[in-house]
């Protein structure tokens, strides 16, 4: 039971994967909000990555369950056949939501919680 979804955050050095066990349906909005929040650091990959992870996992910050980080995807994604359904590409500054479309970072605005 759960609402599982995975996000991939691409950097010039590789990818980091975030898994959420609950609230997968809201992950695309969390990603858009996180990108908007990180706007001042879009050009600084290490800071941008940290802000994105922090914002996407905000609801699990003080919990031992609910979200995880991986360097290789090895969990379920109920929305995209166990492949990441949200791909944030820092070097290209794009957000892709699968199935669906692609947005440039500049198109990502804060979404009401």
For 14-66, write each residue's pLDDT tens digit.
999 999 998 899 999 999 999 999 999 999 999 999 999 999 999 898 999 99
Three-class SS state of 63 = coil
Q: What is the DSSP letter of 40?
A: G
What's the pLDDT tens digit per position in 60-90? 989 999 999 999 998 999 999 999 999 999 9
> In this structure, what token pair is assigned to residue 23?
């609230």
Kindly write down the DSSP assignment for every residue of 65-112, as one continuous string: SSEEEESS--S--TTTTTS-SEEEETTTTEEEESSS-EEEGGG-----
Q: What is the pTM of this model?
A: 0.93
- Give the alpha-carbon dihedral of 19, 23, 28, 34, to 10 degrees: -80
Q: Residue 3, SS3?
A: coil
Q: Which has the closest alpha carbon to 105: 36, 55, 46?
A: 36
């Amino acid at each position: 039971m759960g609402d599982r979804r995975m996000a991939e955050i691409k950097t010039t050095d590789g990818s980091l994967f975030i898994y959420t066990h609950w609230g997968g349906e809201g992950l695309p909005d969390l990603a858009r909000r996180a990108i908007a929040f990180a706007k001042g650091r879009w050009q600084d990959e290490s800071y941008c990555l940290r802000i994105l992870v922090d914002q996407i996992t905000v609801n699990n910050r003080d919990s031992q369950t609910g979200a995880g980080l991986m360097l290789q995807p090895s969990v379920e994604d109920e929305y995209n056949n166990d492949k990441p359904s949200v791909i944030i590409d820092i070097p290209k500054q794009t957000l892709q939501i699968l199935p669906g479309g692609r947005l440039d970072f500049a198109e990502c605005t804060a979404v009401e919680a």
